[in-house]
Amino acid sequence: MSDDRLWAALSEVQDPEMPVNLVDLGIIYGISERDGVVDVDLTFTAMGCPASDFILEDVRERLLREEGVRDVRINIVWNPPWSASRMTQAGRDALEAWGLAV
């Protein structure tokens, strides 16, 4: 299974609070797959992220919809810490259009 397909899948998952997807937001640090088991390294924009449960649920749910995926393991990482510089240009544009300076 190509990792590109899994990255594309997560770029369809919107952040629960802001109109930007998780990949453009830059909180997905890594995706790998072996025998249908997907490992995801992800972080949150803040340690006290109020949407953390929703994000975990959405990532799991979306990846499980990909053909051949039978399990999703999420590893929450804090290093390197997230900052606005980890956003893609598309993510920056989306948030600026929404009225958030990044």
Partner 1 sequence: MPTAAEFAKTIKSGELIESPNEMTPEYLRELKHTLIVSGDTELISAPAYYLAAKKAPSINAFMTGIAIIQDELAHAHIAYHILEELGEDQEKLIFSRDPKSFRYPYAFDVPLDSWTELVVANGMYDQAGFCLLGDIHDKCSYGPWKRGLNKVMAEENFHLRNGRTWMKRISATGGSAKDELQRAVDWMFPLSVEWFGLPDNLKMHSTQLEYRLKGLTNDQLRQWWLSQVVPYCEQINIKVPAHKETKDGTDVYVLDYPFPCEFDAENKRWDFKKPITWDDVLARWRARGPRNAEMVALFQEEFHKFRKSHHQNGN
Piece of 25-33, 52-60, 75-83, 88-96 that binds partner 1 (CB under 8 A): 52-60
Decide: helix, strand or coil at residue 23: helix
Piece of 21-29, 33-41, 48-56, 64-72 that binds partner 1 (CB under 8 A): 48-56
Residue 54 CB coordination number (10 Å): 13
Q: Which of 19, 30, 68, 81 binds partner 1 (CB under 8 A)?
A: 19
The strand pair at 28-34 and 37-42 is best described as antiparallel
Binding status of residue 1 toward partner 1 by CB under 8 A:
no
Q: Which of 18, 74, 77, 84 binds partner 1 (CB under 8 A)?
A: 18
CB 58 within 8 A of CB 21: no
Which CB sits closer to partner 1, 11 or 14? 14
Q: Please count the CA atoms within 13 angstroms of the CA of 3 that sit on its side-chain side.
A: 9
